[in-house]
Amino acid sequence: MTGSTLLAARGLTRRYGRGSGLVRAVDEVDLSVPAGQTLAVMGPSGCGKSTLLHLLGGLQRPTGGKVWLAGRRIDMMSERALARLRRDSVGFVFQSFHLMDELTAVENVELSALLAGQSPRRARQRAMHLLDRVGLVDRADHLPSALSGGQRQRVAIARALSNQPLVVLADEPTGNLDSAATLEVLRLFDDLRTAGQTLVVVTHDTRIAAVADRMITMRDGVFVDDSRLASAATGPVHDGRR
Ligand X SMILES: Nc1ncnc2c1ncn2[C@@H]1O[C@H](COP(=O)(O)OP(=O)(O)OP(=O)(O)O)[C@@H](O)[C@H]1O
User: In one letter, which amino acid is 180?
Assistant: A
Q: How far is the CB of 40 from ligand X (least distance, A)?
A: 13
Q: Which residues bind ligand X (CB under 6 A)?
A: 16-17, 23, 25, 43, 45-51
CA 229 to CA 99: how far, in whole Å? 32
Q: Of ligand X, Mg ion, none, which one does residue 55 interact with (CB within 5 to 8 Å by kind)?
A: none
Answer yes or no: are the C-beta atoms of 131 and 158 closer than 8 Å: yes
Q: Of Mg ion, ligand X, none, which one does residue 23 interact with (CB within 5 to 8 Å by kind)?
A: ligand X
Q: How far is the CB of 152 from Mg ion (least distance, A)?
A: 19
User: In one letter, which amino acid is 50?
Assistant: S
Q: How far is the CB of 120 from ligand X (least distance, A)?
A: 37
Q: Which residues bind Mg ion (CB under 5 A)?
A: 50
Q: Of ligand X, Mg ion, none, which one does residue 51 interact with (CB within 5 to 8 Å by kind)?
A: ligand X
3-class secondary structure, 118 = coil
Q: How far is the CB of 59 from Mg ion (least distance, A)?
A: 12
When the beta carbons of 41 and 211 are compared against ligand X, the nearer one is: 41
CA 141 to CA 148: how far, in whole Å? 14
CA 101 to CA 120: how far, in whole Å? 20
Report residue 3 CA to chain centroid gap. Answer: 19
Q: Of ligand X, Mg ion, none, which one does residue 16 interact with (CB within 5 to 8 Å by kind)?
A: ligand X
Answer yes or no: are the C-beta atoms of 169 and 191 closer than 8 Å: no
When the beta carbons of 95 and 151 are compared against ligand X, the nearer one is: 95
